[in-house]
Amino acid sequence: MKVASIPPRFMPLQQEFRAELIAIADWWAAHTVDHELGGFYGEIDAHNKPAKNASKGIILNARILWFFSEVAQEVDNPDYRACATRAYDYVISNFFDSEHGGVYWELDAAAAPINTKKQVYAQAFTIYALCAYYQLTGNAQALARALECFTLVEQYAIDRVHEGYLEAFTRDWGLIEDLRLSDKDLNYPKSQNTHLHILEAYTTLHQACPEPEVKAALKYNIEMFDKYMIDRTTHHLRMFMDLQWNDFSPGYTYGHDIEASWLIAKALESLGDDAYTAKLTPTLIRIAQVTVDEAIGAEGQVIDSYDFATGRTNADAVWWVQAEALVGFLYAYTTSGDAQFYRAAQNVWQFIKAYQIDHQQGEWFWLSQLQNQNLDPYYKVGFWKCPYHNGRAMMEAMRYLQKMV
């Protein structure tokens, strides 16, 4: 990273982000390696104690692979590269389905498949992670496996009648009744969350392999947001949709809104279509503006969501929402020059430092300590708690600081 290119007034903030990035990486390298059964623990509680028999999900493992592949490119530490290779070897050896292609959803602690469904969200994160490992190492197998997953998604997941990507399939890519990512999700065939992470995966795949078919798929993904998922009336993202794109969202989720704003912008940057970027950028800034207008808590945090049925907000401060807000507000500031977004980013960062980071035992709390003093229900490592959101936020925030003047 070209630290010298950052304006001097932003250097202290840059150093804070870099220090926290290293702290996150060091914690994961020190606490999560499963020396007995291979790979990484499937779960570690809020007090850093591993659940040695916990299952191992592809989302956790792909995100670990992605994170260490990225941080090893930012920070010259052989431990990070070793963790990236460990994660790569585990994913390639255990999660890939040699008969039907793609990756399984979940293994037991000893690496036997226990849920073999093909969640498209999981294929996307695997593409994303493998591309990062390829960029770190030049390993041709990593890129080849990423392209295998890309081909499967393009072959099976696209709705040829109504456009967009379907959520999930059986092991052999047949129809499946339960399409959900988790118990919290609604059972609809299309979601903003899956589309968002296909978009992110294809953004990175296009950087690693700028072939015409990859570029076309990346543009297609951006168009799906432009046409169907961005509500131009409210400037929120629609969350759950049927085959015909009818909206069944139960509310607004502010973390996904602000995350989408900067990830779509990054996809546009990878695509390199200046006219399309100019067309969509005002909409992306408007999404960030709505987040500022509706979702800022008393301490500068971004709250979780708004529920249509009750008309109430969920004021929880969740780790990944704060991470996405930090990046999204910095994106909006560097793009628009509007100082309110920089102030919002500063306030979120102050909140993270005060309430979200565990300064005693490391990593970030699931829920901030402003609201939650009982750590026990919330793990630090698990199916959905990875070094992805907070680690990515530190790296992206550092990159946005380089764009400031």
| Paired strand residues for 314 | 305
When pLDDT is averaged across residues 172-183 and rounded to a whole number, the result is: 96
Is the predicted pLDDT of residue 2 greater than 50, yes or no? no
34 phi/psi in degrees, rounded to 5: -95, 95
Task: Please tell me the least confidently modeled range out of 16-20, 319-323, 368-372.
Answer: 368-372
Is the predicted pLDDT of residue 73 greater than 60, yes or no? yes
- Cα–Cα distance between 67 and 349 in angstroms, integer? 20
When pLDDT is averaged across residues 261-279 and rounded to a whole number, the result is: 98
Q: Side by side, which strands form the sheet with 251-253?
A: 251-253, 305-307, 312-314
When pLDDT is averaged across residues 317-343 and rounded to a whole number, the result is: 97
319 phi/psi in degrees, rounded to 5: -55, -45
Q: In this predicted model, what pLDDT tens digit does every residue of 3-57 receive, in sequence order?
A: 447 788 899 999 999 999 999 999 999 999 999 999 999 999 999 999 999 999 9
Indicate the SS3 state at residue 246.
coil
What pLDDT score does 153 carry? 98
What pLDDT score does 23 carry? 98
Confidence of residue 375 (pLDDT cuts 50, 70, 90): confident
- Asked if 69 and 81 touch (Cβ cutoff 8 Å), the reply is no
Structure tokens at 131: 């591309």
Rounded to a whole number, what is the distance in angstroms from the first to the last CA of the chain?
17
Q: Tell me the whole-structure pTM to 2 decimals.
A: 0.97
What pLDDT score does 3 carry? 44
- Asked if 121 and 197 touch (Cβ cutoff 8 Å), the reply is yes
Task: Please tell me the least confidently modeled range out of 116-125, 211-220, 314-323, 374-383.
Answer: 374-383
The separation between CA 374 and the C-alpha centre of its own chain, rounded to angstroms, equals 26
- The per-residue pLDDT of the chain, averaged, comes to 96
Contacting residues for 339 by C-beta, under 8 A, at least 6 apart: 333
Which stretches within 93-211 are classed as H helix? Answer: 120-137, 140-156, 192-208
Confidence of residue 360 (pLDDT cuts 50, 70, 90): very high
Question: Which amino acid is it at 277?
Answer: T
Contacting residues for 203 by C-beta, under 8 A, at least 6 apart: 218, 263, 266, 267, 270
Q: In this predicted model, what pLDDT tens digit does every residue of 201-249 receive, in sequence order?
A: 999 999 999 999 999 999 999 999 999 999 999 999 999 999 999 999 9
When pLDDT is averaged across residues 354-376 and rounded to a whole number, the result is: 90
When pLDDT is averaged across residues 283-307 and rounded to a whole number, the result is: 98
